[in-house]
């Protein structure tokens, strides 16, 4: 069984889940706009059970909301620079842990967190080997020139928030700036299809995206 704890690091705190072996590749798990809620904690636990030292930073300082209007407000009020600073500190914390194997980590994010995955990977450079945005756009269109991570994205063909016809431009920007070609998978689902606590959940798509993500992370974080 994975062990879990709330923990602090420079600039913030978060939820840490350790694998049964006590050691493994490091993985940052980035929340949706609802906050670091039970769903994100559960996903973090699931990654730990699969062998990762998984850390979900808390971007809202302990606040969790359930209404769309509240989530939209908190997301608007969150300064992108400060959030990426906090996420970068979480990356450094993982890399400094004796329990984390390797000298690079992975990052997975959902919705708002999917956009932060790309922004974080663009800033962190060599520190991140694999980045997995779930229905996350490019945020404020970061410069991907420093990007070193391989990228696999998961998107719903019925998503009104991140329409699939926006993905070619995102792919082109990543390729142009970094020379890395991302892989984007499209599913017969809408936005937030991975969140099993929401009506948008699509079990078949979520299961396939999970399996693909695990395979991708293991391939890029091996050693």
Quick: pLDDT tens for 30-56.
999 999 999 999 999 999 999 999 999
Q: In which band, very low, low, confident or very high, does the pLDDT at 2 lie, cut at 50, 70 and 90?
A: low
Q: In which band, very low, low, confident or very high, does the pLDDT at 140 lie, cut at 50, 70 and 90?
A: low
- Has residue 152 got a pLDDT over 80? yes
pLDDT, one tens digit per residue, over 76-119 is: 999 999 999 999 999 999 999 999 999 999 999 999 999 999 99
- Has residue 141 got a pLDDT over 70? no
Model-level pTM greater than 0.85? yes
Q: What angle do CA 15, 44, 134 make, to 5 degrees?
A: 120
Question: What CA–CA distance (Å, rounded) separates 129 from 65?
Answer: 32
pLDDT in the model for residue 32: 97
Question: What CA–CA distance (Å, rounded) separates 72 from 152?
Answer: 26
């Amino acid at each position: 069984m994975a062990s879990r704890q709330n923990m602090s690091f420079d600039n913030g705190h978060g939820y840490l889940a350790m694998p049964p072996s006590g050691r493994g590749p490091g993985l940052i798990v980035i929340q949706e706009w609802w906050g670091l809620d039970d769903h994100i904690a559960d996903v973090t636990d699931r990654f730990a059970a699969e062998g990762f030292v998984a850390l979900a930073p808390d971007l809202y300082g302990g606040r969790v909301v359930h209404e769309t209007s509240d989530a939209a407000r908190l997301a608007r009020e969150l300064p992108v620079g400060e959030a990426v600073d906090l996420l970068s500190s979480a990356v450094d914390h993982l890399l400094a842990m004796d329990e984390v194997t390797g000298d690079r980590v992975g990052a997975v994010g959902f919705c708002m967190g999917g956009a932060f995955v790309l922004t974080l990977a663009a800033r962190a450079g060599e520190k991140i080997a694999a980045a997995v945005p779930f229905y996350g756009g490019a945020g404020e269109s970061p410069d991907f020139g420093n990007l070193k991570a391989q990228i696999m994205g998961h998107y719903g063909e019925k998503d009104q928030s991140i329409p699939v016809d926006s993905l070619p431009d995102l792919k082109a920007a990543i390729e142009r700036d970094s020379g890395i070609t991302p892989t984007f998978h499209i599913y017969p689902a809408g936005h937030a299809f991975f969140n099993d606590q929401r009506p948008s959940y699509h079990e078949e798509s979520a299961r396939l995206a999970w399996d693909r993500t695990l395979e991708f992370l293991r391939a890029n974080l091996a050693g």
